[in-house]
Amino acid sequence: MNKLEDLIEKIKQLEKELREEFQRKQEEFYYKVKGKRVYFEEETKKLHKTLATKISTYLFKASFLNILTVPIIWFCIFPALFLDLVVSIFQFICFKVYKIPDVKRSDYIVIDRQSLRYLNPIEKINCVYCGYFTGLISYVQEIAARTEQYWCPIKHARKLGTIHSRYHKFMDYGDHHDYQKRLTELRKDFSDID
């Protein structure tokens, strides 16, 4: 195993440990996840309800500049919905042609924070929006990563701000021999996706 593969294995192990640690938090905060639903113990639900900030207090304490930016933030929902539609159609058509495994939307767009009773209605709506938007960006990134693996699986020469899930499979920048030999193989190499 080369150093790059070794590092990728370490990252995967750390991601697994991170998921396990998130699971431990369920016990600490008295909730269980069954399917897509979150269940709190009755005592915890009662406590949470007492902690929710009244809407009038929430608005009174809000920064005036924060309130002014609300229309700008919420206007972004229109391009987000359009992006969601276009990328989903792209995946539906093109991934079948390229024989790339589909990206499961529900694995990326997770909306569950509105169930927290210690949030007021405004906070719940904001949490739904943020869950949708950040999940959508992750969903789009995974579709783009799989598409890039099919069409151009070459690493960049310059440093990236973030590395997507398929990047470790890409060929090194400037390695023209490997490119000619491995392109067809890489276009089909999605065996690591469940």
Give every CB contact of residue 77 below 8 A, 6+ residues apart in sequence.
129, 133
Average pLDDT on 19-43 reads 75
- Model confidence over 81-128: pLDDT tens digits? 999 999 999 999 999 999 999 999 999 999 988 888 899 999 999 999
Q: pTM to 2 decimals? A: 0.82
Smallest CA-to-CA distance from 116 within 45, 58, 33, 54 is with: 45
Q: CB of 108 within 8 A of CB of 125?
A: no
First and final C-alpha spacing in the chain: 23
Domain boundaries, the chain: 1-51, 52-188
pLDDT at 37 over 90: no
Name residue 25's amino acid: K
Q: CB of 40 within 8 A of CB of 48?
A: yes
Cα(111)–Cα(128) distance, integer angstroms? 6
